[in-house]
Amino acid sequence: MPKDIHILLIEDDPYARDLMTLLLNRDWRTRVSGEAGSEAEATRILSNASNKIGAVLVDTEVPGDPDWPFRLAALVRQTFPEAVFLGTGTRAQQEIESYSERLAADY
């Protein structure tokens, strides 16, 4: 069976990124088509419209730059308008809920 959902995984923690990649690749429906550990790496991958990306899974808890998920969401919208943008976090925070609402409104 083909793996229909191509995912770009953006996570700054290499251990978490490796674990998420392992779990996503084990599912028969998904394939990790790219991994990025920084905004620069993600931008490079997202700037190439020939990449297959159906979903972008982004860590929203990056210290020091709370607006970076929004910059990435804008680039995803521009380059891969059909892609789903998903944010992740390790704890329930008011900030994460605000991110979700703001991303939904902007997306």
Amino acid, res. 90: T
Report which of residues 4 and 2 the model is more confident about.
4
The mean per-residue pLDDT over the stretch 85-97 comes to 68
Question: 4-8, 9-13, 85-89, 96-100: lowest mean pLDDT where?
Answer: 96-100
Report which of residues 102 and 82 the model is more confident about.
82
The mean per-residue pLDDT over the stretch 53-62 comes to 86
* pTM metric for this prediction: 0.80
Residue 79 Cα distances to 51, 53, 88, 89, 101, angstroms: 10, 10, 21, 24, 22
Residue 84 scores a pLDDT above 60: yes
